[in-house]
């Protein structure tokens, strides 16, 4: 890719910018050509979309701060109501060109006030008609705010009659944003995902200085070989690379292999990475636990993730209750007679059953059942005679419910306990 | 090394340069070369400035196309208000980007230049996006008429009283009759949703009752706007509608393209302007450019999209590339019309692609009925057990994480909001891609394993 070149900005700054944004040169040059010179007008609104960690936020921030363009950067998840959002924009605007941190408190409830205060604040800054950029990150949250916020921001240049460009960054495509009565269409730009070559290049950049770049590049290769099919998110891969590198270096540190023994190193690291996929990747255990495990050299089988704690020993009646609840959830009601009574007849298959034979109940999920059906099934499956004292059973049931084995579906209209329905 | 000239600078430095040029004959050729490069840098900058303002900043200096009849109608209407003191109301209706605001701004500017118009035509510009209820609208009217001091802290019983007071206040001063007021309501269809439509009722009421010459002009994109008005509001409205329908054909569209891309006659560097305009003429006759314009014209007729395309092409103009070419326009068109969902699918991991293919098969077998994660996982397992050689059998939580990523990207949407009742695996969902999009995306997917591709193309269900 040729160097970024633009007449309005000094080439030293552009060179520095290029070094900060590897593999994103074409997007940056496109943005530069759209922005034009400082005083020129640009699109009133630009919508940039792309996958997570494809560099949208990072590139925008780096571009605007390196070239020192007047800008306001707001995250819509952090400022999730319209009032917070508008006030934050005005506060940041106050310190836009002056660079000082003195900001006076701003009170802005509605868009009407915002437009007025925006024009006032802009007039008080010495910007000489330079384009002001308002960047809204995680713009999909704008859809959750009031209905006029998104269309107003798309037209902000027209509403305020000033040189301002609004840039929206999001993962979601534009078609899911468009309001039903239409709006001012922004210029949509796509930040492509990184290819495997790009990922390798970027990940190999932060190699620790004590090892050579080739050694680290081989490690990244192995890591990508295991994880690339599952996940292409740069942040996740970087996290995994940082966590597992010490294990990879172990044979070299212990002197068993040197840096070029790729086969030995691979044999050492591969089961470790597979285990990482089941635990750290899924956030079953925290990264500090993982690192401690690596240091102590424990068996990977000893790892107890979060889901391991769901296996436990239950008392006698609770176990039967659980089994009864499982049966009640997955068996349709008409089969109860056949399974649980001593003298039953045969069930004839109706048309309905023949049509829906193939969709197994396990695919459709558990169905709700009333409490007395649960108790009836329980009585029939427990071998010895059970004293049907409601006291005991309600206590045991509540224990199970509290442990979230039976999520509770309460009917609010009918407060009688018999009408409570459960699912497994 | 001279610093590059600032774009907003006047022509003075250039003339100074001209003055300095004659004495140095030996270095004249070198300097002249530098001059031509620098001058064309300033030139290019001027070109960019003019064209960007034309395409991005919608000011009244823009031209109107295909609106002669509507223009004269509106001008006549407003002249009657300002010169003869008649009250009127009108609605300008047209799809988004058809030029309603541009038309109004043009007419207002022409009106202000007329001598017959008494200078005190008061304008109040309201916008449905900003004034979201009647109280805010009333405050805005007060502010724009600059009557805040007059109103002070008065409390009014009703909206009508307040408005009447404002209009009466305009009458004061040494005028025997009040000056005409023009109310412009942008996004008129949003005012219709206010409580009781009281602002609209009062404005139209005043425009009927001949005390103060008031004209109300509404701009809206909804064709069914009259059905949204309440009966009492509708009866006070004059039912005068001006329609803007983008009613030009392709020949006129090409003419508009030429006019919009050409430099104006007042451009300082005449030689360059001539070169530029000849190039534009050339482009408008070029077949590839015509194809690009035809494609855009068939998609949408409004000039806003044309401006977007032209802006993209103009942004590629630099000193090394001073004239736009057909390739620039083609590139701009390609950028503009890329399928966003296909782009997103391009960046998914192989596991996520497999889940999408599993959902596609489920849709085909069950005729588009909603599915849940358990069914998708089942389908995926069938593929792994029977056909896959390159895919490793991932554990269920890993597959769940990939599925949740698809949910986050909104490629898969749950039918109802996830609540605490249902478990996540059994929540019913539907896929927001259709199978042709998926197949096209798979064609361009990088490094797609062949067994995955074959599985996608197979139409038999594996039950």
Partners of residue B129 in chain A, C-beta under 8 Å: 111, 148, 151-152, 155, 159
ipTM of the complex: 0.86
> How much is the pLDDT for B5?
46
CB A188 within 8 A of CB A65: no
Burial class (CB in 10 A: 0-12, 13-18, 19+), A131: buried
Nearest CA in chain A to B45: A37
What was the pLDDT predicted at A391? 67
* Confidence at residue B210, expressed as pLDDT on a 0 to 100 scale: 65
DSSP category for residue B275: H
At A3-31, the pLDDT tens digits run: 667 777 888 888 888 888 888 899 999 99
Partner-chain contact A185 B136, CB within 8 Å = no
Q: pLDDT digit string (tens) for A185-232?
A: 999 999 998 988 999 998 888 878 888 888 888 889 989 988 888 888
Other CB atoms closer than 10 Å to residue B263's CB: what's the count?
19
Give the single-character DSSP code of B197.
Answer: G
Tokens of A181: 């009565």
Chain A closest-CA separation from residue B364 CA (Å): 15
* pLDDT-derived band at A177, boundaries 50, 70, 90: very high
Flag whether residue B418 sits within 8 Å of chain A, measured between CB atoms.
Answer: no
B114-130 per-residue burial string, b: 16 or more CB within 10 A, e: under 16: eeebeeebeebebbbbb
d(CA B195, CA A17): 53
* pLDDT tens-digit profile, chain B (463 residues): 444 444 444 444 444 444 444 444 445 555 555 555 555 788 888 888 888 988 888 765 677 888 889 999 999 999 888 888 888 999 999 998 888 988 999 898 888 887 666 567 888 999 999 999 888 999 899 888 888 777 777 777 787 888 888 777 776 644 456 678 899 999 999 999 998 898 999 889 888 886 778 899 999 999 999 999 999 999 999 999 999 988 888 999 999 999 989 888 888 888 888 989 999 999 999 999 999 999 999 998 888 899 999 999 999 888 888 888 999 999 999 988 888 888 999 989 999 999 999 999 999 888 888 988 999 999 899 888 887 777 788 888 899 999 999 999 999 998 887 776 667 788 889 999 988 889 989 988 988 888 888 888 886 544 4
CB contact under 8 A, A231 and B409: no
Asked if A192 has any chain B CB less than 8 Å from its own CB, the reply is yes
Q: At what angle do helices B373-386 and B350-365 cross, to 10 degrees?
A: 110
H-helix segments, B172-263: 188-191, 198-208, 225-228, 231-236, 250-261
Give the model's pLDDT for residue A143.
Answer: 93
d(CA B379, CA B390): 17
CB-nearest to B131 from A112, A192, A362 is A112
pLDDT tens digits, one per residue of A331-346: 888 888 777 777 666 6
CB contact under 8 A, A44 and B56: yes
Taking the model in full, what pTM does it have?
0.86
Give burial (CB, 10 Å; 0-12/13-18/19+) of B354. buried
β-strands A45-49, A408-409 pairing: unpaired
Interchain proximity A159–B130, CB inside 8 Å: yes
Minimal CA separation from A172 to chain B, in Å: 6
Model pLDDT, residue A317: 75
H helix intervals, B90-133: 100-113
What's residue A101's pLDDT? 63
DSSP state of B44: H
Q: What is the 3-state secondary structure (H, E, C) of chain A?
A: CCCCCCCCCCHHHHHHHHHHCCCCHHHHHHHHHHHCCCCCCCCCEEEEECCCCCCHHHHHHHHHHHCCCCEEEEECCCCCCHHHHHHHHHHHHHCCCCCCCCCCCCCCCCHHHHHHHHHHHHHHCCCCCCCEEEEEECHHHHHHCCCCHHHHHHCHHHHHCCCEEEEEEECCCHHHCCCCCCCCCCEEEECCCCCHHHHHHHHHHHCCCCCCHHHHHHHHHHHHHHHCCCCCCHHHHHHHHHHHHHHHHHHHHHCCCCCCCHHHHHHHHHHHHHHHHHCCCCCCCCHHHHHHHHHHCCCHHHCCCHHHHHCCCCCHHHHHHHHHHHHHHHCCHHHHHHHHCCCCCCCCCCHHHHHCCCCCHHHHCCCCEEHHHHHHHHHHHCCCCCCCCHHHHHHHHHHHHHCCCCCEECCCCCCCHHHCEECC
Residue A98 has a pLDDT of 62
Tokens encoding A114: 């915002």
Task: State residue B12's pLDDT score.
Answer: 44
């Amino acid at each position: 890719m040729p160097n970024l070149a633009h007449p309005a900005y000094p080439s030293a700054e552009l060179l520095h910018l290029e070094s900060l944004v590897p593999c994103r040169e074409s997007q940056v040059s496109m943005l530069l050509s759209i922005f034009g010179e400082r005083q020129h007008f640009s699109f009133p609104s630009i919508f940039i979309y792309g996958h997570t960690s494809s560099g949208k936020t990072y590139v925008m921030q780096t571009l605007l701060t390196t070239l020192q363009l007047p800008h306001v950067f707001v995250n819509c998840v952090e400022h999730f109501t319209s009032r917070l959002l508008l006030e934050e924009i005005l506060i940041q605007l106050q310190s836009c060109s002056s660079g000082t941190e003195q900001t006076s408190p701003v009170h802005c409830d509605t868009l009407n006030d915002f437009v007025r205060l925006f024009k006032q604040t802009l007039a008080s800054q010495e910007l000489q008609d330079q384009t002001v950029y308002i960047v809204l990150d995680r713009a999909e949250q704008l859809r959750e705010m009031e209905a006029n916020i998104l269309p107003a921001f798309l037209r902000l240049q027209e509403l305020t009659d000033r040189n301002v460009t609004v840039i929206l960054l999001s993962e979601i495509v534009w078609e899911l944003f468009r309001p039903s009565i239409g709006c001012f269409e922004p210029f949509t730009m796509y930040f492509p995902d990184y290819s495997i070559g790009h990922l390798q290049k970027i990940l190999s950049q932060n190699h620790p200085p004590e090892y050579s770049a080739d050694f680290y590049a081989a490690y990244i290769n192995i890591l990508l070989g295991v994880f690339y099919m599952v996940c292409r998110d740069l942040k996740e891969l970087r996290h995994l690379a940082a966590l597992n590198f010490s294990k990879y270096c172990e044979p070299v540190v212990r002197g068993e292999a040197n840096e070029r023994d790729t086969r030995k190193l691979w044999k050492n690291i591969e089961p470790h990475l597979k285990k990482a996929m089941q635990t750290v990747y899924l956030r079953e255990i925290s990264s500090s636990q993982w690192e401690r495990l690596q240091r102590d050299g424990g068996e990977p089988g000893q790892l107890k993730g979060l889901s391991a704690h769901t296996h436990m020993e239950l008392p006698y009646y609770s176990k039967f209750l659980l089994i009864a609840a499982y049966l009640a959830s997955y068996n349709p009601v008409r089969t109860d007679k056949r399974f649980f009574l001593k003298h039953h007849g045969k069930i004839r298959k109706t048309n309905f059953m023949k049509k829906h034979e193939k969709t197994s109940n396990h695919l459709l999920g558990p169905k709700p059942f009333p409490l007395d059906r649960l108790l009836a099934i329980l009585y029939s499956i427990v071998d010895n005679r059970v004293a049907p004292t409601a006291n005991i059973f309600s206590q045991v049931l509540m224990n199970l419910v509290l442990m979230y084995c039976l999520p509770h579906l309460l009917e609010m209209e009918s407060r009688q306990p018999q009408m409570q329905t459960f699912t497994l | 090394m001279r610093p590059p000239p600032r774009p907003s600078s006047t022509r003075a430095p250039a003339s100074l340069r001209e003055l300095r040029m004659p004495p140095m004959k030996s270095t004249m050729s070198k300097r002249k070369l530098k001059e031509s490069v620098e001058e064309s840098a300033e030139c290019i900058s001027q070109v960019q400035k003019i064209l960007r303002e034309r395409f991005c900043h919608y000011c009244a200096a823009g031209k109107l196309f295909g609106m002669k009849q509507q223009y004269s109608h509106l001008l006549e209407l407003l002249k009657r208000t300002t010169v003869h003191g008649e009250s009127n109301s009108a609605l300008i209706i047209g799809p988004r980007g058809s030029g309603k605001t541009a038309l109004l701004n043009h007419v207002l500017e022409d009106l202000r230049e007329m001598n017959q118009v008494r200078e005190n035509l008061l304008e109040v510009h309201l916008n449905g996006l900003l004034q979201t209820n009647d109280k805010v609208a009333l405050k805005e009217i007060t502010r724009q008429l600059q009557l805040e001091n007059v109103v002070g802290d008065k409390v009014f019983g009703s909206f009508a009283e307040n408005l009447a007071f404002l209009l009466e206040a305009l009458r004061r001063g040494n005028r025997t009759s009040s000056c005409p007021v023009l109310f412009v309501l942008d996004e008129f269809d949003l005012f219709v949703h206010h409580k009781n439509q009281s602002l609209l009722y009062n404005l139209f009421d005043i425009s009927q009752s001949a005390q103060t010459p008031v004209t109300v002009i509404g701009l809206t994109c909804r064709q069914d706007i009259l059905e949204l008005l309440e009966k009492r509001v509708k009866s006070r409205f004059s039912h005068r509608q001006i329609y803007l329908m983008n009613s030009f054909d392709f020949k006129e569209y090409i003419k508009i393209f030429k006019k919009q891309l050409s430099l104006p006659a007042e451009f300082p560097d005449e030689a360059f302007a001539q070169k530029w305009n000849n190039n534009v003429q050339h482009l408008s006759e070029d077949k590839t450019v015509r194809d690009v314009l035809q494609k855009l014209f068939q998609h949408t007729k409004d000039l806003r999209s044309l401006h977007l395309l032209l802006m993209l092409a103009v942004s590629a103009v630099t000193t090394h590339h001073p004239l736009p070419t057909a390739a620039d326009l083609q590139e701009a068109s390609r950028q503009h019309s890329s399928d966003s969902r296909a782009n997103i699918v391009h960046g998914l991991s192989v596991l996520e692609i497999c889940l999408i293919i599993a959902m596609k098969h489920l849709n085909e077998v069950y005729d588009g009925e909603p599915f849940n994660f358990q069914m998708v996982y089942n389908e995926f397992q069938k593929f792994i057990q029977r056909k896959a050689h390159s895919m490793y059998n991932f554990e269920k939580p890993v597959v769940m994480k990939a599925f949740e990523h698809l949910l986050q990207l909104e490629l898969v949407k749950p039918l109802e909001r996830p609540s605490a009742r249902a478990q996540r695996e059994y929540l019913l969902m539907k896929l927001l891609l259709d199978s042709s999009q998926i197949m096209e995306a798979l064609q361009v997917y990088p490094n797609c394993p062949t067994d995955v591709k074959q599985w996608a193309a197979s139409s038999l269900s594996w039950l």
